[in-house]
Structure 1
Amino acid sequence: MAKNTPKKTTSIYLYIPNIIGYIRIFVNCYAFAQCLNDKKLFVVLYFISFVLDGLDGWCARKFNQVSTLGAVLDMVVDRVSTNSLLVILSQYYSPGLFFLAFLGLDISSHWIQMYSTFLSGKASHKDVKDSNYWLLKTYYGNRIFMAYCCIAAEVFYLILYFIANNQSNSLIDVMINAVRHNSLVRFPLILSMIGWATKQIINVIQIKTSADACVLYDINRKQKP
């Protein structure tokens, strides 16, 4: 049995969804290497990585190649790419703390959710059927709604990145100016901002429910003889 372990391990590394995850890492590395020089190229590459994010999930289900490595890799790549973009935006706009605050919220929400998932013995962090919050259950239970919130958040950040200049301008002033004077940006910016705001509310709820799960785990552990 021990002799077969390396072969089985290697085969999981070579799952199609995991290979897509490796490709995303290289795409993101090149994208962020060019983010200060070529905005159009960065947006295209970032969008390609985002499309691949959806493709790896489809491949995992299609070819029955769901793995813990794939789930962790997918979340890590998502968080690193999104939060790297937030760091860039914090340099383009004032107050930069606005973006850094949501960077912290994003990391905290997903980390504590994953940790509480393992403590609870659940197979997936998306298993929230026992939650008391309908918004959280709708988010993880409805793929269309979840896709809208995730895509909207990324589009919102990408629009802010694309319309920014090299100076640290007021975020509110830039957004108001874009809505008033840029008809191409107006509708996507408003629509994506709604989805982005919804996702931030979900992140807060996720922290609360995950913290409750951690507390419940401690209580149950102390009550055991």
Structure 2
Amino acid sequence: MAPQSTQRALSVYLYIPNIIGYFRIIINCVAFALCYSHKTLFAILYFFSFFCDGLDGWFARKFNQVSTFGAVLDMVTDRVSTACLLAVLSQLYRPGLIFLLLLGLDITSHWFQMYSTFLSGKTSHKDVKDKNNWLLKAYYGHRPFMAFCCVASEVLYIILYLLADEQTTSVLDVCLSTIKETPLLSLSFFVTLIGWAVKQVINVIQMKTAADSCVFYDTKRSK
């Protein structure tokens, strides 16, 4: 590789949003190392990493440092973080299979979406203007709506994580007891539950539409 090309590649690695991405990885590693021994500290670190997820996008647009590497780094960090949290919840609750299925859906949906994006020649997996589903368009087309669904899902998982104890391992029991708690907690839980449910529906829709795009690419290539 020529020195100039090497310098350009290095500059992309050192983009501010990408440095934030590296920082998020370190925070998550520390957080999950403490997840079974310091629950409150884990929740704080996890949420701080989640907050930084919004910062890197802002910096990317502010300083015109949008990059394919940064987009992939951001998605991989998000997916791995959520996957690890779901894996922890599968150990704290029964049936743990619920969280493992959610983990599988999350990874499969985003992998299909990312791969179909590159097959179609798009530069961003959030470009769904050519899709027919209104909910998918609303999710990626309206940042506040997407933020609500994402934040609600993560908050719900953290609430379940903080409420887990050795005596209560049933997901249903914890959900029912939380709803019966103080109005503020029950309202917060209900709102996050709505956002979480919408995001899971979107994950299924995204997986199906992305799979259709892959099949369309195959049929077009075979002609």
TM category (shorter chain) comes to over 0.9
Cα gap change, 1:111/1:168 in structure 2, threshold over 3 Å: closer, same or farther?
A: farther
Cα gap change, 1:167/1:88 in structure 2, threshold over 3 Å: closer, same or farther?
A: farther
2:36 maps to what in 1?
36
Deviation at 1:166, TM superposition (A): 3.0
1:91 maps to what in 2?
91
TM-score, normalising length: structure 1: 0.97
Alignment of 1:30-179 (within 5 A): 30-167=30-167, 169-179=169-179
State the percentage of identical aligned residues: 62
Structure 1 gap ranges (5+): none
Structure 1: which amino acid aligns with 2:133? Y
Structure 2: which amino acid aligns with 1:68? T
Secondary structure, counterpart of 2:180 in structure 1: helix
Contact 2:93 2:169 (8 Å CA) reproduced: yes
Range 1-10 or range 49-58, more displaced: 1-10
1:209 maps to what in 2?
209
TM-score, normalising length: structure 2: 0.97
Contact 1:94 1:168 (8 Å CA) reproduced: no
Deviation at 1:184, TM superposition (A): 4.3
Stretches (4+) displaced over 6 A: none
1:26-78: per-residue Cα shift (whole Å, max 9, x none)?
00000001111111101110010011000000000000000111000000110
Secondary structure, counterpart of 1:169 in structure 2: coil
Deviation at 1:199, TM superposition (A): 0.3
Cα gap change, 1:168/1:100 in structure 2, threshold over 3 Å: closer, same or farther?
A: farther
Aligned equivalents of 1:65, 1:145: Cα separation in 2: 24
- State the superposition RMSD in angstroms: 1.1
Structure 2 gap ranges (5+): none
1:87-108: per-residue Cα shift (whole Å, max 9, x none)?
1111111110000000000000
Cα gap change, 1:157/1:179 in structure 2, threshold over 3 Å: closer, same or farther?
A: same
